[in-house]
Structure 1
Amino acid sequence: MTTLNPANGGATAAPSRTLNRHDYQTLGLSALGGTLEFYDFVIYVFFATVLGNLFFPADMPDWLRLLQTFGIFAAGYLARPIGGIVIAHFGDKLGRKRMFTLSIFLMAVPTLVIGLLPTYASIGVAAPLLLLAMRVLQGAAIGGEMPGAWVFVAEHVPAKRYGLGVGTLTAGITGGILLGSLVAIALNKHYTPVEVNDFAWRIPFILGGIFGLISVYLRRFLQETPVFQEMAALRHGAREMPVKTILREHRAASVLVGLLTWVLSAAIVVVVLFTPTYLQKVHHIPVTLALEANAVATLMLTLGCVLVGWAVDRFGTRLVMLLGFPGLFITSYLFYTGLPGTPVSLVLGYALVGLFVGIIAVVPMVGVRAFPAAVRFTGLSFSYNMSYAIFGGLTPIIITTWLQRDVMAPAHYVGGLAVLGFVVGLLPLSHRGHMGKKDGPAS
C-alpha cells in the first residue's frame, strides 16, 4: 500500500512490494509511448541538413542555413516551459493519466503537418514560419510529456525498484532517438540524396504522426497512479496554483533540478543529436556512417539508462553520480579528440561515450524525489523545462558558433557540464531517498 508522508508530501511507492504484472504493463506501455513521442520530437534533427536546404533560400551561406535550421529546432525547446507548466498544473489538479495522454496527442498532429508542409520553393518565407510554428507546438507537448512520464512511473513502481523503473522509462524515451536514427539510416540507404530531398524526407514525419496516434490509443490502458488516487481521496492535492508553491517553498529543489537538466541537455543535445551533423560537416564523414555510428551510440545510451537505474537501486544515487559523471567527462574527450579516425574507431568511441551518457537517467530520479507529491508534477516540469528551454534550446546555436573557432567545442562543453554534474552529486538534496532520507543500497 502507498502511504503519504507529511515530511516530503508522499512516498513514490510502497517500499516492501516487488514488481508485479501490472507494474510491467505500466512500464512497458509508458516506455513504448515515450519512445514513439520522443521520436516525433527528435526526427527533425536527423534531417536538419535536408530541411535547411528545403526551407531556406538556396543562396544563403551553408553555415547560416544550418544555424537557422537549428534555431527552429531550438524554438521547440523554448516552448517547453509553457506547455510543461500548463499540462503539469492540470496533472497535479486533475490527475497524471489525463495529461499523460493529452501531451502525446498534441505531439502527433504537428509532426504529421510537418510531413505535409510545402517548401520554400513553393511558398517562400511562409515555409520556415510554418515549420517554426509546428516546432513550437511540438515543444509545448514534450514539455508536459517528459516530466509527466517520469512522475507517472515513479508513483507506480515499488520504492526498492524506483531506480530501475525510472531508468527503464528513460531508456524507452531515449529509444525514440534510436528509432529516429534507424529510420534516417534506412531512408538514406534506400533512397538517393536527390530522392530524399525531393519527397522521402516527408516519410519519417508522416510515420511520426501515425506513431503518436498509436500511443494515444495505448495509454487508454494505463491506470491513474496510486499516489494521486490517495491524494484525491484525502483531498491532499494542491490548494493553490502549484507553480506558486514551487516558487515560494521549493526554490532549492528547482535550482538543483535545473542544474542537472543543464547537464542532461549537454549530453543529449550535443553527443546524440548534434554530433551526426557535426561528423558530416566538420570531419566530412559520410552521412550513412555518421548515422550508423550514432545508432550504436544511442543503443548504448538506452542500455546505459537501464544500467544506471539498476545501480541506483543497488548502490544509491550519490555513488552512481560520482562515478558516472567523471566517466562521461573522460569518454567525451576520448571520442572527440580521436576524430575522424577509422570507421571502427568512430563506432567504438561513439558507443563508449553513448554508454556513459546513460548517467542522465539520474536526473529524473533526483527530480521526482525533490518535490512533494501535491506539486511534484509541476515542480519537476517547471524546473526541468525552464532549464532545458534555456540550455537545451541554445546549445546547438552555441556549439555551431563556437565551432567557427574550435573544432573541439563539443568536447569542452560536455566535459564542463560533466564536472558540474559531479559537483551537484555531492549535494545532500541530490541523493535524498523516497522518505526524505539519504538513499542507499536497496534492502
Structure 2
Amino acid sequence: MMASSPQSSLGGPPAGRLDLACPARESAAAMTAQQPTAPAETTATPPRMRKVVTAGLLGTSLETYDLYLYGTASATIFPRLFFTNQSDTVATILSLATFGVSFMARPLGAIIFGHFGDRIGRKETLITTLLLMGVSTAVIGALPTYDSIGALAPVVLVLLRLLQGVGFGGEYSGAVLMLSEHAPAGRRGFYAGLNNIGPVFGFILSTLVFLVTGSLMSDATFTAWGWRIPFLLSAVLVAVGLYVRNQLSESSLFIEAVKKRESATPPLLQVVRRHPKELILGTGSTVALFAIFYLFSTYTLSYATKVLQMDRSTVLWSVILAMVVNGVAIPLAASLSDRVGRRAVCVAGLAAAALWAFPMFSLINTGNSSLLTLALSVQMVFYGVIYAPIAALLSEIFTTSVRFTGAALSYNLGGILGAAFAPIIASALLARYGNTDPIALYIIAMCVISAVCVAALRETRLTNLAEPR
C-alpha cells in the first residue's frame, strides 16, 4: 500500500490531484517560504554542558570565597586589626565601610570586563577576573596591620578591596552568561540559576575555614596571625579554578554574534542608547537581593556577636546552616522559573522576604542560637527564590553583542545601591533608634523597589537569545 500524503491525512486534496479550488494556498505557502525565520538557538552537548556547569560553579565558588571571607573578617576581626585607634563603634563602622568600598568599584569592573567579554570572549575575561580576585585576597593575607605600619594599613586594605571589586564586577555576570548561552532554551533558568549555588559553596567554604582556623588556636593567636591563613589559601584555590576555566570554549551564540557584528560602537554606549529601560529596571530588580544578603552575611555577624554578645562560633554555624538551606532553594526556584516565568517567582520571593523582616529580627533578638538559625534559614529560602531567576532574567533582557556589559552593569550597580551601604545603614539605624525595627523597614523598602522594577520588565523565559533586540 502507498502511504497517504501529509495533505491527505490532514483533510487536504488526495494525493495526485491539483487543488484548483484554492489557488491562494500555494501563494500563501510561497510567501511563508520567502519570509526570514528567526535564528535558532544552539545548545551544548550534555558532556560540554557538564563542563560549563562545573567551571561556572567552581569559578564562582572561589570568587565568592574571597568576597565572603572579607565580609566575615570585616565584621568580626578587622576592626581590632586595622582600626585600633578608634572606639569599638567607629572601628566597626569603618571596617564595614571597607567592605562596601568593593561595591563602588564593581561597575568599573563591569564596564572594563563587559567590554572585553563582549568583544574578545567570555572565557578569557573570566580567567582574568578570577586571577585578579585571587591575588588581591592573598595579598590581604600578607598585609601588615595598623600596629605595624599605622594609617597606611587601612589605606592599602582599601586599595586591595577596590581591586577585588573590579575583578568581581565582571565575574558573576560572565559566569552566568556562559551557562545561559550554552543551555537549552527551556532549561535556561535552571542552568543559569545553578551558578547561584556557587556563592553558597563559596560562603560555606570561607566561613568554615575561618571557623576551623579560629577553633584550632587561642583568640590571641588567631588575632595575631591565624586570620591570615584563610586569605593566603585563596592562592591555592585560584590555581585550581584557573585550570578548570581554561578548559572551556566559547558558546555558539557568541561566536555567531562576533561574525555578524556590524557596529564598532563600544558595548557600554550601545547598552545606554539601546537598552536604557532594561539597564535601569535590571539594576533596580537586584537592590533588595543585595541588601538582604549582605545584612544577613555581614551585619548579622556584627550585630549578634557585638550587640547580643553571642558566641562567634555559634553565630557562624547558624549562618552556615542557613546557607545550606539557601543552596537547596535555589535550583528549585530556578527550575520553577522555567515553568511559570522569571517575574512571578522573583516577585513572590520579594513579597515573602518583606513579610518576614519583622519576625526575623524578633527571633534574632532573643539571643537564642536555635531561633537565630530559624530566622536566618527562612530568610535565606526567600532570598534563594529571588536570587534564582535573576541570573537568567538579566541575561535575557540584553542582546548577545552587549549581553556581558548590560548584565554586569545592571548587577553591579544594584550592588552599590543594595549592598555597599546596607551594613553601614543598619549600624547607623541601630545607633540612632536603639532597636531593629527601622532595619526591618529598610528591608521592606528595598523589596518594594525591586518588586516594582521586576514587574515592569517583560517576561523573558521564552526569549530566543539568538534574536537581536
After superposition, give the CA deviation of every residue in 1:314-341 in whole Å (9 maximum; x if it has no partner): 2222321232222212233222112233
Deviates more, 1:362-371 or 1:387-396: 387-396
* Equivalence for 2:193: 167
* Equivalence for 1:440: none
The 1:409–1:360 alpha-carbon spacing in structure 2 relative to 1, beyond 3 Å, is: farther
* Equivalence for 1:22: 48
Deviates more, 1:316-325 or 1:44-53: 316-325
* Letter in structure 1 aligned against 2:396: R
State the Cα distance separating 1:255 from its structure 2 match.
0.7
The 1:349–1:238 alpha-carbon spacing in structure 2 relative to 1, beyond 3 Å, is: farther
* Letter in structure 1 aligned against 2:276: R
State the Cα distance separating 1:237 from its structure 2 match.
6.4
Query: In structure 2, how many angstroms separate the alpha carbons of the residues matched to 1:89 and 1:322?
Result: 31
Matching of residue 317 in structure 1 with residue 346 in structure 2: no
Query: In structure 2, how many angstroms separate the alpha carbons of the residues matched to 1:7 and 1:369?
Result: 20
State the Cα distance separating 1:56 from its structure 2 match.
1.5
After superposition, give the CA deviation of every residue in 1:366-401 in whole Å (9 maximum; x if it has no partner): 111111111111111122222312432122221111
* Equivalence for 1:334: 359
State the Cα distance separating 1:64 from its structure 2 match.
0.5
Query: In structure 1, how many angstroms separate the alpha carbons of the residues matched to 2:315 and 2:37?
Result: 50
The 1:167–1:432 alpha-carbon spacing in structure 2 relative to 1, beyond 3 Å, is: closer
Matching of residue 212 in structure 1 with residue 238 in structure 2: yes
Contact 2:56 2:176 in 1 (8 A): no
Contact 1:425 1:431 in 2 (8 A): no
State the Cα distance separating 1:290 from its structure 2 match.
0.7
**Within-5 A mapping of 1:26-425:** 26-48=52-74, 49-58=76-85, 60-232=86-258, 234-236=259-261, 239-341=264-366, 342-358=368-384, 359-404=386-431, 405=433, 406-425=435-454
Contact 2:346 2:387 in 1 (8 A): no
| Unaligned runs of at least 5 residues, structure 1 | 1-5, 437-443
* Letter in structure 2 aligned against 1:93: R
Deviates more, 1:119-128 or 1:391-400: 391-400
3-state SS in 2 of match to 1:118: coil
| Unaligned runs of at least 5 residues, structure 2 | 1-35
* Equivalence for 1:426: 455
State the Cα distance separating 1:428 from its structure 2 match.
4.3
Query: In structure 2, how many angstroms separate the alpha carbons of the residues matched to 1:123 and 1:336?
Result: 40
Query: In structure 2, how many angstroms separate the alpha carbons of the residues matched to 1:157 and 1:211?
Result: 27
State the Cα distance separating 1:98 from its structure 2 match.
0.7
Contact 1:296 1:347 in 2 (8 A): yes
Contact 1:92 1:237 in 2 (8 A): no
Contact 2:110 2:166 in 1 (8 A): yes
Deviates more, 1:287-296 or 1:406-415: 406-415
The 1:346–1:391 alpha-carbon spacing in structure 2 relative to 1, beyond 3 Å, is: closer
Q: TM-score, normalised by structure 1?
A: 0.91
State the aligned residue count: 426
The 1:237–1:350 alpha-carbon spacing in structure 2 relative to 1, beyond 3 Å, is: farther
Query: In structure 2, how many angstroms separate the alpha carbons of the residues matched to 1:82 and 1:45?
Result: 21
Contact 1:37 1:211 in 2 (8 A): no
Query: In structure 2, how many angstroms separate the alpha carbons of the residues matched to 1:431 and 1:285?
Result: 44
Contact 1:270 1:410 in 2 (8 A): no
Query: In structure 1, how many angstroms separate the alpha carbons of the residues matched to 2:329 and 2:254?
Result: 30
After superposition, give the CA deviation of every residue in 1:188-210 in whole Å (9 maximum; x if it has no partner): 32222111101110011001222
Please identify the structure whose Cα radius of gyration is greater: 2
Contact 1:18 1:161 in 2 (8 A): no
Contact 1:184 1:291 in 2 (8 A): no
Query: In structure 2, how many angstroms separate the alpha carbons of the residues matched to 1:76 and 1:228?
Result: 29
After superposition, give the CA deviation of every residue in 1:21-62 in whole Å (9 maximum; x if it has no partner): 21112101211111011111220111123111111234x111
After superposition, give the CA deviation of every residue in 1:214-263 in whole Å (9 maximum; x if it has no partner): 2112111111112111122x332652111111111111000111101212
3-state SS in 2 of match to 1:426: helix
After superposition, give the CA deviation of every residue in 1:387-440 in whole Å (9 maximum; x if it has no partner): 31243212222111111123234322222222233333422425463238xxxx
After superposition, give the CA deviation of every residue in 1:84-136 in whole Å (9 maximum; x if it has no partner): 10111011110111101111011111111000011111111111111111101
What percent identity do the matched residue pairs reach?
Answer: 28
Query: In structure 2, how many angstroms separate the alpha carbons of the residues matched to 1:300 and 1:105?
Result: 30
Contact 1:266 1:414 in 2 (8 A): yes
State the Cα distance separating 1:306 from its structure 2 match.
1.3
The 1:143–1:307 alpha-carbon spacing in structure 2 relative to 1, beyond 3 Å, is: same
Q: TM-score, normalised by structure 2?
A: 0.86
* Letter in structure 2 aligned against 1:372: T
Contact 2:326 2:381 in 1 (8 A): yes
The 1:238–1:44 alpha-carbon spacing in structure 2 relative to 1, beyond 3 Å, is: farther
* Letter in structure 2 aligned against 1:407: T
The 1:7–1:347 alpha-carbon spacing in structure 2 relative to 1, beyond 3 Å, is: farther
Query: In structure 2, how many angstroms separate the alpha carbons of the residues matched to 1:53 and 1:408?
Result: 28
Query: In structure 1, how many angstroms separate the alpha carbons of the residues matched to 2:205 and 2:211?
Result: 10
